[in-house]
A and B are shown apart, each in its own frame.
Chain A
Amino acid sequence: MIKRILLDAGPWFAFLSQRDQHREWATAQFEQYTQFTTCEPVVTEVCHRLAYHRQSPDLALQALDEGAIVIDFSISRSLASVRSWLIKYADRGIDLADACLLAMVQDEPRCKLITTDRIFEVVRMRDRRVVPAVLPTRAG
């Protein structure tokens, strides 16, 4: 049984963005689930992308306020895990949000990770499992 649906910044922003190539797919994910779990670096990324397009970062926080997306991760509590992911996949350009999401998957294997980031297709968990990532199908 799936316990948690983790959300990355890509699908979150795709849902918000009218012209995003993954908008339809992202909207389908938002229609399928009642609540997503994420981490603060993902929220920060969405806030930045909103600000980049002259939108209020508060639009991201509204999603938290509505209870559609909840933050349930502490870097300080999972510091060793986050650091290990950043070091292991440094050559793949892993960022802090990716590392936090991987630490969240490690903490709760019965999860799905909704993402548009293909790095999760190559990453392997500590027991060599693939990441339970749900990605849009490749175009073409």
Chain B
Amino acid sequence: MATRQITLKLPEATVERLDKLRAETKTSRNGLVLEMIEDNLASRRGRSAAEKLAHLGGIVKNAPADGSTSNAWRQRLER
């Protein structure tokens, strides 16, 4: 696996928690961060599209129920 070195800037409290976890798990900072990123990505992939977009569901309040903006779109294309 190709690797690349990057620098992370974390709040002091987060670094303290990371080091506490490092002592408890005997895992390096690098290993812990990698694990957390993988877990986060897996969790994001596992969420439904509705969960990912919960803040957007029903956000448009003024569109007609019959979907007629679709026709407005087509009329615009025809102009």
Residues of A contacting B58 in the complex (Cβ-Cβ under 8 angstroms): 15-18, 23
Do A69 and B49 have beta carbons less than 8 Å apart? yes
In the complex, residue of chain B having the shortest beta-carbon distance to the beta carbon of A16: B60
Residues of A contacting B73 in the complex (Cβ-Cβ under 8 angstroms): 45, 48-49, 52
B77 within 8 A of partner (CB): yes
Nearest-Cβ distance from residue A128 to partner chain B, whole angstroms:
28
A21-B65, A45-B73, A48-B76 as given contacts; A34 in contact with B59, CB under 8 Å? no
A74 within 8 A of partner (CB): no
Do A30 and B48 have beta carbons less than 8 Å apart? yes
A79 within 8 A of partner (CB): no
Do B67 and A66 have beta carbons less than 8 Å apart? no
Please provide the chain A residues from 26 to 83 with a CB less than 8 Å away from any CB of chain B in the complex: 27, 30-36, 45, 48-50, 52-55, 59, 62-63, 66-69
Residues of B contacting A95 in the complex (Cβ-Cβ under 8 angstroms): 74, 77
Residues of B contacting A52 in the complex (Cβ-Cβ under 8 angstroms): 69, 72-73
Do B64 and A19 have beta carbons less than 8 Å apart? yes
Residues of B contacting A63 in the complex (Cβ-Cβ under 8 angstroms): 49, 52-53, 56
Residues of A in contact, count (CB < 8 Å): 39
Between A and B, 11 residue pairs with Cβ closer than 8 Å are: A16-B60, A17-B63, A18-B63, A21-B66, A30-B50, A34-B48, A36-B49, A52-B72, A59-B59, A68-B49, A116-B67
Do B48 and A10 have beta carbons less than 8 Å apart? no
CA of A23 to CA of B47, assembled, Å: 20
| Residue in A34, A45, A116 whose beta carbon sits within 8 Å of that of B49 in the complex | A34
Do A27 and B50 have beta carbons less than 8 Å apart? yes
Do B63 and A30 have beta carbons less than 8 Å apart? no
CA of A133 to CA of B76, assembled, Å: 26
Known A-B contacts: A14-B67, A33-B49. Give 18 more (CB < 8 A): A9-B70, A10-B70, A13-B63, A13-B69, A13-B70, A17-B60, A21-B65, A31-B49, A32-B48, A34-B45, A48-B76, A52-B69, A53-B63, A53-B69, A59-B56, A63-B56, A66-B53, A67-B44
